[in-house]
Homo-oligomer: A and B are copies of this chain.
Amino acid sequence: MSEIPTVLVVGTGLIGTSIAIGLKNAGYEVVLHDENEHALSVALAKSGAQELSNQACDLVIVATPPSAVAEVMRHALLTHPHAVVTDVSSVKATILNALSDLGSAELARVVGGHPMAGREISGAAGAQGNLFVDRPWVLTRTDFTSEATFKKVEQMVNALGAVVIERSMLDHDEAVALISHTPQVVASVLAGELVGADAGHIELAGQGIRDTIRIASSDAGLWSEILAGNAANVAERVRSVATRLGEMADAISHGNHDQIISILEKGTAGRDRLPGKHGASRVSDALVLVRLDDKPGELARLFAVAAQAEVNLEDVRIDHSLGRMTGLVELTVSIAAQSTLESALTLAGFVVIN
């Protein structure tokens, strides 16, 4: 094996091409393959990588659509008999189970991977080498994954600036059913209620429903593959939500206040378990609320004041109304920085609430 690892990326969409760019920048040799010639040519141009011919590869990263991943991994294990093979798909057990008939020598060279980076856009055109910086990247071992194999994939993930989080296949799939796949389904179904609604009803929509159904605008084809790949976990969790909603509907119908309050309070407790952002749920975070006037440049001025006061903003949320920028701005900062920021903002003429 050469000192500079050669990585083959199969599938040059947003994720595959972003990996190619990032690994090139980190000094890897990168070769690319995609059945779609147009996608491949864009990816080659963006990354400066080479097209796959007969290079010997140390690492194969399969970044195809979910339904093709297992077969492409199998093919890679056979055609690159010394290479480590990993993938980037958001479901793990169905893919790794599909390879379980392989021998331990092959499975020793396999690690499942899931970079949890944004999918707001798709395609090679939107790829960037820094897409994974500071993002979680879950790795899952097979029963036979060798230490050397795991380390090679871990190094690649670190080279992209991502944070390795190791989980078992089953753990990963249960986790994403809970924190990604079920929210996607719930948001889509709730958003679907708007389809037949009166325009005059929708006109009253505020920031609440807007946030709740934001992720409902999604790639239905990709998501149907993801949900199919994690069917048992997602179906169970979605059924649980459906059952709880049915109970809530009954409680509301029957005026059962205690039960209504208990369900709402459980929601608050669940929401408070999310780490970090929004609502200052970390004990070290404070929320500063500022009412912004509807004047051009006010937001820029707000951030300039924060920067001048040398306050690091952990998070920013802007509440809208009637399609204008005016509204409440929520700034999350460390408790240590709160009073510095509030003073600086007040001095600059901003309305700080509380």
Q: Does A348 contact B (CB under 8 A)?
A: no
- Minimum CB–CB distance for A90 against chain B, Å: 11
Report yes or no: A325 in contact with B313, Cβ–Cβ below 8 A: yes
B residues in contact with A68, CB < 8 Å: none
B135 and A354 form a contact (CB under 8 A): no
What is the interface of chain A mostly: helix, strand, loop, or mixed? helix
Give the docked Cα–Cα distance between A245 and B237 (Å): 10
Contact call B188/A174, Cβ cutoff below 8 A = no
Given contacts A134-B326, A261-B221, contact A209 B180 (CB under 8 A): yes
Q: Which of B212, B274, B302 contacts A205 (CB 8 A)?
A: B274
Contact with B along A210-241 (1 / 0, CB 8 A): 11111111101101100110011011111111
Copies of this chain, tallied across the complex:
2
Chain B residues in 8 Å Cβ range of A212: 183, 186-187, 211-215
Known: A183-B212, A190-B241. A206 touches B252 (CB 8 A): no
- Mark out the residues of chain A between 135 and 182 whose CB falls within 8 Å of any chain B CB in the assembled complex: 135-136, 138, 163, 165, 167, 171-172, 174-176, 178-180, 182
Measured CA separation A184–B327 after assembly (Å)? 21
Q: What is the size category of the interface that chain A forms with chain B?
A: 35 or more
Q: Which residue of B lies closest to A321 (CB)?
A: B135
Is A257 interfacial (CB-CB < 8 Å)?
Answer: yes
- Could you list 8 further interchain pairs (A-B, Cβ under 8 angstroms) beyond the known A128-B351, A175-B200, A179-B208? A135-B322, A163-B322, A183-B212, A211-B214, A213-B274, A299-B313, A300-B303, A315-B318
